[in-house]
Amino acid sequence: MDFITLSSGDLGVKRSAKKHLNSICFFVKFLKILSFLNSSILEMFCYLDGICVTLYLVNDF
C-alpha cells in the first residue's frame, strides 16, 4: 500500500500531484490487465485535500 499525503496549499502542486497519481493508478490497472501482477487484489490509497480514494483492482481472469 502506498500512502501519499500533501500538506502544501498550492493548487498547482495538488493538481500536478493528482494528475501524477491518476497516471500511476491507470498504469497499475494497465499492468493488472496484462497480468503482470500476481496479487488478486491491489489496493492503492490516494490522499488529496483530505479525500481518500481507494482503488480496488480485482483480477477477473
* Residue showing cell 481518500: 52
Q: What percent of the chain has pLDDT over 70?
A: 2
Model pLDDT, residue 56: 46
Q: What percent of the chain has pLDDT over 90?
A: 0
- Please name the residues in contact with 6: beta carbons below 8 A apart, sequence gap of 6 or more: 13, 14, 17, 47, 48, 49
Q: Which residue pairs from 4-9 have beta carbons closer than 8 angstroms and sit at least 24 positions apart in sequence?
A: 4/45, 4/46, 4/47, 5/47, 6/47, 6/48, 6/49
Model pLDDT, residue 11: 55
Q: List per-block mean pLDDT (blocks of 10 residues) for the chain, which spans 61 residues.
A: 49 64 68 56 45 46 36
Does pTM top 0.75 for this prediction?
no
Alpha helical stretches, state H, the chain: 11-33
